[in-house]
C-alpha cells in the first residue's frame, strides 16, 4: 500500500514539473497571418467568374458567355485564360508560365430567375470594359452593384404580366371581353402560384404539374358554369392561354444554340430540363382532362372550332403577349416596347409565309429565324440582350393550340381508337412547330453574327469614334 502511494506521488510531482517547464504560449497577435490580398490578375478572374455565373444561371448561351468572359480577361490579363462551361459548373484556368503556378477557379452555378435588366447590365459592363479599358476597381464596384442590388419589377408587375400573357392569347383567338378578363385572372393567379412554389423549393417539374392542373380545373369549372348560366364562353381558350404561359420562358433556344455551338454537355442538360418541364405540363393537363371526363364534363375544343381574330387584332395580341412576357422577366420599359414590336413582326412574317401555303411549321420557323436575325442587331446597337428579344418574340408562335388538342384527344380516346392516333399526330405536329421555332431562332442568330460584325466594321471605319480630350 505504501509503495503504491509513493508511486502515485512520484507521478504527480513529475507531471507538475512538466507543466511548469512548458514554453510560454504565443500570443495570437504574434502569429504570422496569411496574406489575403489578391493580385489584380486574380481579381480580374474573379470578376469574370461572377459575370459568367450570373449569365449562365439565367439561360444565356454558353458561347455568348465565353466570348464575353474572354473579352474581359483579354483586357485585364496578360496571359490567355481558358474557360470551360457545363450546365451547373464553370471553370476558369490560366497558365502563368514555367516560373509560376497555374490558377484555376471553379464555381457551381445555381439556376435563377431570368432578369433581363441584370443580363443587359452585365453585357453593357463587358462592352464598356473592352472598349474603354475601364479600371478594375470601377468594374468591381459596378458588378457588385449589379449582382447585389439588381433592378427588377415588383411582384405585382410580374403577376400582372403573367395575366396579360394569357389574356393576349385569348385575344389572339378572338375571345370575348369576358373571356379575356377571366383569362387574365387565371394567368395572374397561375404566375403567383409558380413564384410561391419556387420560393418554397418545389422543383420545376412538380410546379408545372400543379400549375397546369389548376389551370385545367379552372377550365372544367368554366364548362360547368357555361352549361348552367349560358355564358357563351369557350373554356378551351383558358387552357391554351395557360399552356402558352407555362411553356414560354423555357430555355429551348439556348439549348439548341449550345448544341450547334458544340457545347454538348450544357445543351443536353438544358434540353432535358425543357423535356421535364414540358412533361409536367402534359401530366397536369391530362390529369385535369381525365378528372373532367370522370364527371362527364366534355370540352368542346376541336382544331377547327378555334379561329383567329382579325389581322389587326392578331398583331395587337402578338404585341401584347411578347411585351408582357418581357415585363414578366424584369425588362425595362424600352425593352418591353422593343420585345412587343419584335413579337408583332414575327407574327406578321408567319402569316405571310402561311398565306403561301407552306404550312404552320415552316411559317413558324421562318418567323423565328427573322426574330433571331433581328435580335443580333438590336442586342448590339441598343445593348439589349438577344435572349430577351428572342425569348419574348417567339412566345406568340408557341403551339399552344396544337399541344392542347393533342392532349385532349389522348385523354378522351382509348389507344385502340383511330382518333387516338390522330391525336398523337397533332402532338407530333406541336413538337415539330416547337422544334422549328427553336432551330429557326438559333439559325437567325447565327446568320446575324457575321453580318453584324461587318456592319460594325463599316460603321467604325465610316464614323470613327471621337475621343474626348
236-265 pLDDT, tens per residue?
Answer: 788 888 888 888 666 677 787 888 888 888
Residue 467 pLDDT:
42
Residue ranges of the chain with pLDDT lower than 50?
1-2, 26, 28-29, 31, 304, 466-469
Let me know: does 265 contact 84? Beta carbons within 8 Å.
no
pLDDT score for 428: 86
- What gap in Å lies between CA 329 and CA 161, rounded to an integer? 9
Taking phi over 0 as left and psi of -120 to 50 as alpha, with beta for the rest, 262 belongs to left
> Which residues, other chains included, contact 373 with Cβ-Cβ below 8 Å and sequence gap of 6+?
444, 445, 447, 448
The pair phi, psi for residue 349, each rounded to 5°, is -60, -40
> Residue 190: CB partners within 8 Å, gap ≥ 6?
162, 166, 211, 214, 215, 242, 245, 246
Contact criterion met (CB below 8 Å) for 445 and 386: yes
* Whether the predicted model's global pTM rises above the 0.85 cut: no
Q: How far apart are CA 52 and CA 199, in angstroms?
A: 24
Q: From CA 222, how far away is CA 298, in angstroms rounded?
A: 11
Rounded to the nearest 5 percent, the helix, strand and coil shares of the chain are: 70, 5, 25
Question: What residues are paired with 83 via a beta bridge?
Answer: 92
Distances (CA, A) of 362 to 63, 374, 393, 398: 27, 18, 17, 13
Are 433 and 399 a contacting pair, CB within 8 Å? yes
- What is the residue extent of each domain of the chain? 40-148, 155-458
Give the DSSP H/E element, type plus range, for residue 105: strand 103-108
Amino acid at each position: 500500500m505504501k509503495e503504491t502511494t509513493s508511486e502515485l506521488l512520484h507521478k504527480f510531482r513529475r507531471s507538475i514539473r512538466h507543466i511548469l517547464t512548458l514554453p510560454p504560449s504565443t500570443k495570437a497577435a504574434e502569429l504570422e497571418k496569411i496574406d489575403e490580398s489578391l493580385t489584380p490578375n486574380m481579381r480580374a478572374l474573379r470578376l469574370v467568374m461572377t459575370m459568367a455565373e450570373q449569365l449562365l444561371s439565367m439561360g444565356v448561351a454558353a458561347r455568348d458567355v465565353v466570348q464575353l468572359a474572354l473579352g474581359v480577361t483579354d483586357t485585364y490579363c496578360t496571359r490567355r485564360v481558358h474557360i470551360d462551361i457545363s450546365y451547373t459548373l464553370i471553370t476558369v484556368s490560366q497558365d502563368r508560365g514555367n516560373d509560376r503556378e497555374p490558377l484555376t477557379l471553379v464555381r457551381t452555378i445555381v439556376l435563377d430567375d431570368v432578369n433581363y435588366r441584370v443580363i443587359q447590365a452585365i453585357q453593357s459592363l463587358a462592352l464598356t470594359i473592352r472598349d474603354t479599358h475601364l479600371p478594375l476597381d470601377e468594374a468591381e464596384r459596378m458588378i457588385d452593384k449589379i449582382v447585389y442590388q439588381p433592378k427588377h419589377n415588383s411582384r405585382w408587375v410580374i403577376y400582372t404580366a403573367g395575366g396579360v400573357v394569357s389574356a393576349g392569347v385569348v385575344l389572339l383567338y378572338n375571345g370575348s371581353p369576358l373571356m379575356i378578363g377571366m383569362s387574365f385572372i387565371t394567368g395572374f393567379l397561375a404566375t403567383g402560384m409558380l413564384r410561391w412554389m419556387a420560393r418554397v423549393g418545389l422543383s420545376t417539374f412538380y410546379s408545372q404539374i400543379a400549375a397546369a392542373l389548376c389551370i385545367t380545373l379552372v377550365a372544367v369549372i368554366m364548362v360547368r358554369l357555361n352549361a348552367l348560366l349560358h355564358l357563351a364562353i369557350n373554356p378551351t381558350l383558358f387552357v391554351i392561354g395557360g399552356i402558352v404561359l407555362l411553356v414560354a420562358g423555357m430555355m429551348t433556344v439556348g439549348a439548341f444554340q449550345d448544341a450547334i455551338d458544340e457545347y454538348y454537355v450544357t445543351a443536353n442538360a438544358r434540353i432535358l430540363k425543357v423535356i421535364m418541364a414540358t412533361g409536367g405540363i402534359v401530366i397536369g393537363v391530362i390529369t385535369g382532362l381525365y378528372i373532367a371526363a370522370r364527371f362527364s364534363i366534355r370540352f368542346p375544343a376541336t382544331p377547327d372550332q378555334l379561329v383567329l381574330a382579325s389581322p389587326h387584332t392578331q398583331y395587337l395580341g402578338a404585341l401584347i403577349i411578347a411585351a408582357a412576357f418581357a415585363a414578366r422577366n424584369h425588362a425595362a420599359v424600352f425593352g418591353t416596347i422593343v420585345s412587343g414590336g419584335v413579337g408583332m413582326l414575327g407574327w406578321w412574317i408567319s402569316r405571310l409565309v402561311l398565306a403561301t401555303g407552306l404550312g404552320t411549321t415552316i411559317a413558324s420557323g421562318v418567323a423565328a429565324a427573322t426574330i433571331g436575325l433581328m435580335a443580333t442587331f438590336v442586342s448590339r446597337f441598343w445593348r439589349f440582350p438577344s435572349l430577351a428579344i428572342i425569348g419574348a418574340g417567339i412566345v406568340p408562335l408557341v403551339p399552344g393550340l396544337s399541344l392542347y388538342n393533342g392532349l385532349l384527344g389522348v385523354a378522351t380516346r382509348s389507344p385502340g381508337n383511330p382518333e387516338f392516333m390522330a391525336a398523337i399526330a397533332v402532338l407530333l405536329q406541336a413538337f415539330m412547330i416547337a422544334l422549328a421555332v427553336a432551330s429557326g431562332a438559333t439559325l437567325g442568330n447565327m446568320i446575324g453574327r457575321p453580318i453584324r460584325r461587318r456592319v460594325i466594321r463599316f460603321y467604325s471605319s465610316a464614323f470613327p469614334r471621337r475621343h474626348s480630350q
